Structure 1
């Protein structure tokens, strides 16, 4: 079997005007540093698994592709993008097509710009499926029946080497109450796992949580890339939410029956926190923007 090496990035949060994320983070510089960290390697794919943009403008997507596409091409890689909750479907499509603009993608959504952005493309015997878990105007995610049927029909025929699925909201639980309230719908996450169970899917690549997680579900690794724009604090009080001024990504290698995930996280300023929300602030955000959470299901000890 031919091997596959993927640079998995997520949550770049570029703004069209080059503004700083949370007024602190230079997102262009963070991406440059992340790419430099693995610049000595060659890749088959560079995947950005959602929240490509912060403001959903065409300018933000162009700014990102200006930074990323030449770097990837110099290393022999095709670039793949997925929609995240901060992305806008019309602007995303205008610049990035179905998420695989340099491949012969087959868009689920046809010409309706309000439909989810989903595509499938083949490369050297590998199949890449991009799904859209975003819901316009909110932070949490779901998958429409149309997309799930699209995935079922696509996976009905195995690819030569296997399939990679890219979806922003992971079908695994978060580490904190806030992000769990902004997670993928539980039923959709379970159905996604049921669809890929027993198929040729080798890995599911996700983002949204801004921290590295790899969890095996139904024998398939679901791997979440740390954020390029910041890295969430994983082991604080789950009722609070904080992120450090750093960047990260993962190198995913599929070789025969093996899937290897090597994440990297680099802190830029030892004492700088991009944001910290205490439990009261988190509760307010969940009430205003998240799905209702039963207190008995809180992740807090």
Structure 2
């Protein structure tokens, strides 16, 4: 079973600057990676799905690469980088990919990862060119295998009217290619909220931003960005993709679920929760 950690829209800025003038996106990323290191996870890869830098600053890219690749190095997994609309393409290629190509295919733990550049220079919305669609058609014409398609812009509608125009605009073209392709999931970012949908019969996952949250139920319907970050875990289990959004912030424990699994939880608490004890737990008591 392969699983992946998805970090999206980290929006690192130049040294001494803050995102939106208030958010220390670098510290947020560093704290998250420290938390992940403490969790002693063993992901197949870290997927970074765009907007690595907020304005294409070279030092911001170097910092992102140092922090994320250092974490990945400790876990022994690769980092798969995808660019977003905030990324300056040449700076991204130079400082993140060492001059390599963005549209590519990689294989990790038996999973094919297809990376596509969905950006339009100078624009917020996404678009796949005819050449990219032809390339993807050729890739998908091969043998069916567990596959994640990675790109920044979701091929979905957006529940916020003001942002709907900034999604992938030719999603119908992509849907035609995905129909019957065997792709397990399309993995995206961009919106700063976690969400899901379907394109061409394939599940689409939208990973939230580690730096900030686009509020989809804002107070008094006033559009806003809030100080809440999230990342995602994506598992492929027997060929089926499952995605979960996880808050970046540390959380207090309200129930030690491991104690239930281990059978060491107090039986009165177990009864209060309403979970029947397993036979072997009853025997131990």
Q: Same fold (TM over 0.5)?
A: yes
Find the aligned partners of 1:180 and 1:267 in 2 and give their Cα distance: 28
Find the aligned partners of 2:36 and 2:201 in 1 and give their Cα distance: 28
Give the 5 Å matches for 1:133-144: 133-144=118-129
Structure 1, unaligned stretches of length 5 or more? 102-106, 108-116, 269-301
- 8 A Cα contact 2:153 2:190, kept in partner: yes
Deviation at 1:22?
A: 0.3
Deviation string, structure 1 residues 52-100 (Cα, Å, up to 9, x no partner): 111112222111011100101211221011111111111111122289x
Of the two, which has the highest radius of gyration? 2
Give the 5 Å matches for 1:137-286: 137-158=122-143, 161-185=145-169, 188-236=170-218, 240-266=222-248
Deviation string, structure 1 residues 230-288 (Cα, Å, up to 9, x no partner): 011122379642111121111010010432211112469xxxxxxxxxxxxxxxxxxxx
TM normalised by structure 1 equals 0.77
Aligned twin of 1:12: 10
Judging changes above 3 Å, is the alpha-carbon distance between structure 1 residues 24 and 38 closer, same or farther for their aligned structure 2 residues?
same
Judging changes above 3 Å, is the alpha-carbon distance between structure 1 residues 9 and 260 closer, same or farther for their aligned structure 2 residues?
same
- 8 A Cα contact 2:178 2:201, kept in partner: no
TM normalised by structure 2 equals 0.81
Give the 5 Å matches for 1:19-98: 19-39=17-37, 40=39, 41-97=41-97
- 8 A Cα contact 1:177 1:238, kept in partner: no
Aligned twin of 2:272: none
User: What is the CA RMSD across the aligned residues, in angstroms?
Assistant: 2.1
Find the aligned partners of 1:190 and 1:98 in 2 and give their Cα distance: 33
Find the aligned partners of 1:145 and 1:47 in 2 and give their Cα distance: 25
Find the aligned partners of 1:238 and 1:257 in 2 and give their Cα distance: 43
SS at match of 1:201: coil
- 8 A Cα contact 1:252 1:259, kept in partner: yes
Aligned twin of 2:105: 120
- 8 A Cα contact 1:9 1:249, kept in partner: yes
Find the aligned partners of 1:145 and 1:239 in 2 and give their Cα distance: 38
Find the aligned partners of 1:132 and 1:238 in 2 and give their Cα distance: 36
Structure 2, unaligned stretches of length 5 or more? 251-285
- 8 A Cα contact 1:16 1:59, kept in partner: yes
- 8 A Cα contact 1:254 1:260, kept in partner: yes
- 8 A Cα contact 1:175 1:234, kept in partner: yes
